[in-house]
């Protein structure tokens, strides 16, 4: 959430910053509401002050005289009543304004960082570096072909269980998934991250707090009988974990790593990536998350990104690092680095981790602060996949495929998986 005060005091600069996203935003209607609200605030405060004084006076008068029903006293009470009417009228107005302002501001995305490349869409993203040698040969199999021939997963049988875009992992496929989760959790938790295993169901407030609501309710699955949603990413429960807290600055940064299943409706993406493990309604992910001192989030962003990178390096998977342009940034993010893994079958890089610095955007929505120089300040939140498990498996299958149809398991993963190759059953 953007700072209401900023919109009230400098709407033009707010619009200018937001327009970096490649769309026009009109914040003047909100600006007007905030001015109106401010005036009402002051008026209410004045009236309350008067009415409080009067109440005290009445209390004193009653204490002095035994007559609770004197004409004088009744007049004072009547006066007090008038205050009450006026105040409650104004409060009603204010409540409406507050709701409206809150609703409007919640729908505004975060400011893009000035360091992010300016651009309109995906095509303007900037490649920062590549790592490893991308496997480029003809007649390479896709991971779903490999998965089928090695019997690692089955999507068509899974439609009987739920519907398309779900998967059932089988045998070595299931084992590989499990190995990857443990592998990633171990590396990160040995690297200073505290492991969390949060609930998969989250309430509306939590989704609001990290920015998925109110704008993207179409993207999540909702439970019909409760105010609970299937969490689209561990970012949601982790943000909510420290909601409404003032964190001692000496504890910062707080670094969490969490494994969680993630559920996304993928509305609007039918027809894309319909096969394999790339785009599913349910997938597993190991998520990295930092609560950072606001003055240190730029360095934190580099660290979290390189922590995510380290997994790809250990697994020896070629990847590139991409600086997401202003027009392609997620709603809550001010700057995002994507890690894209090489998928030889499509001869392209695919997103496997998205590392974002949300600055104080989520912290303001969730009210997470720290005390610096005796003043409360919103902390900065950062998140990054470390990594998406399904896509990592796809990359291992495709990059590790051998001419005899087997798949070589990256050395670092062997202790977790238990063997060097996945062979035909």
Q: In the complex, which residues of this chain contact RNA (CB under 7 A)?
A: 5, 44-46, 48-49, 51-56, 58-59, 62-63, 76-77, 80-81, 83-84, 88, 95, 246, 371, 376
Minimum CB–partner distance for residue 70 and RNA (Å): 12
Minimum CB–partner distance for residue 83 and RNA (Å): 6
Query: Which residues are within 8 A (CB) of 50 and not within 5 positions of it... i.e. 6 or more apart?
Result: 83
C-beta closer to RNA: residue 54 or 414: 54
Using only C-alpha atoms, the chain has a radius of gyration, in whole angstroms, of 27
C-beta closer to RNA: residue 122 or 227: 227
C-beta closer to RNA: residue 52 or 347: 52
C-beta closer to RNA: residue 14 or 352: 14
Q: State how far the Cα of 300 lies from the Cα of 303, in Å rounded to an integer.
A: 5
Minimum CB–partner distance for residue 61 and RNA (Å): 9
C-beta closer to RNA: residue 78 or 160: 78
Minimum CB–partner distance for residue 102 and RNA (Å): 13
DSSP of 249-298: GGGPSEEEEEEEEEE---TT-TTSS-STTSS-SEEEEEEEEEEE-GGGHH
Minimum CB–partner distance for residue 372 and RNA (Å): 11
C-beta closer to RNA: residue 10 or 55: 55
370 CA to centre of own chain? 20
Minimum CB–partner distance for residue 82 and RNA (Å): 8
Minimum CB–partner distance for residue 68 and RNA (Å): 7
Minimum CB–partner distance for residue 124 and RNA (Å): 36
Cis peptide before 162 (omega within 30 of 0): no
Other CB atoms closer than 10 Å to residue 326's CB: what's the count?
Answer: 23
Taken in order 168, 173, 179, 184, is the CA torsion positive or negative? Answer: negative
C-beta closer to RNA: residue 6 or 414: 6
Other CB atoms closer than 10 Å to residue 337's CB: what's the count?
Answer: 23
C-beta closer to RNA: residue 56 or 275: 56
Q: Does residue 126 sit in helix, strand or coil?
A: strand
Query: Which residues are within 8 A (CB) of 365 and not within 5 positions of it... i.e. 6 or more apart?
Result: 1, 106, 208, 209, 210, 211
Contact between 393 and 382 (Cβ < 8 Å): no
Q: State how far the Cα of 201 lies from the Cα of 390, in Å rounded to an integer.
A: 21
Cis peptide before 361 (omega within 30 of 0): no
Q: How many CA atoms within 13 Å lie on the side-chain side of 38?
A: 11
Contact between 255 and 295 (Cβ < 8 Å): no
Q: State how far the Cα of 351 lies from the Cα of 280, in Å rounded to an integer.
A: 14
Minimum CB–partner distance for residue 119 and RNA (Å): 34
C-beta closer to RNA: residue 252 or 322: 252
């Amino acid at each position: 959430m953007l700072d209401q005060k900023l919109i009230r005091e400098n709407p033009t600069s707010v619009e200018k910053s937001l327009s970096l996203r490649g769309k026009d935003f009109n914040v003047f209607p909100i600006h007007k509401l905030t001015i109106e609200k401010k005036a009402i605030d002051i008026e209410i405060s004045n009236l309350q002050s008067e009415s409080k004084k009067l109440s005290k006076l009445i209390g004193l008068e009653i204490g002095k005289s035994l007559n609770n029903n004197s004409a004088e006293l009744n007049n004072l009470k009547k006066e007090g009543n008038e205050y009450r009417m006026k105040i409650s009228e104004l409060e009603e107005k204010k409540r409406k304004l507050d709701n409206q302002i809150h609703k409007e501001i919640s729908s505004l995305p975060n400011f893009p960082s000035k360091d992010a490349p300016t651009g309109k869409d995906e095509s303007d993203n900037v490649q920062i570096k590549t790592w490893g040698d991308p496997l480029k040969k003809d007649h390479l199999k896709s991971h779903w072909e490999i998965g089928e021939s090695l019997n690692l997963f089955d999507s068509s049988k899974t439609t009987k269980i739920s519907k398309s875009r779900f998967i059932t992992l089988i045998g070595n496929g299931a084992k590989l998934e499990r190995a990857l989760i443990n592998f990633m959790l171990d590396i990160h938790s040995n690297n200073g991250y505290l492991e969390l295993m949060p609930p998969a169901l989250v309430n509306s407030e939590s989704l609001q707090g990290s920015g998925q609501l109110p704008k993207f309710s179409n993207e999540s699955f909702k439970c019909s009988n409760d105010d609970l949603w299937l969490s689209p990413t561990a970012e949601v429960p982790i943000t909510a974990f420290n909601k409404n807290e003032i964190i001692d600055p000496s504890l910062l940064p707080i670094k969490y790593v969490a494994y969680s299943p993630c559920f996304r409706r993928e509305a609007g993406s039918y027809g894309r990536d319909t096969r394999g493990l790339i785009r599913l309604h349910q997938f597993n992910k190991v998520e990295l998350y930092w609560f950072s001192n606001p003055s240190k989030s730029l360095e934190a962003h580099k660290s979290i990104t390189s922590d995510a990178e380290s997994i790809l390096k250990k697994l020896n998977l070629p990847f590139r690092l991409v600086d997401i342009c202003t027009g392609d940034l997620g709603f809550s993010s001010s700057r995002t680095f994507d890690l894209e893994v090489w998928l030889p079958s499509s001869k392209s890089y695919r997103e496997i981790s998205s590392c974002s610095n949300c600055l104080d955007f989520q912290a303001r929505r969730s009210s997470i602060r720290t005390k610096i120089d005796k003043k409360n300040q919103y902390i900065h939140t950062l998140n990054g996949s470390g990594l998406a498990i399904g896509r990592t498996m796809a990359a291992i299958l495709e990059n590790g495929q051998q001419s005899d149809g087997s798949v070589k398991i990256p050395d670092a993963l062997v202790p977790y998986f238990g063997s060097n190759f996945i062979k035909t059953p």
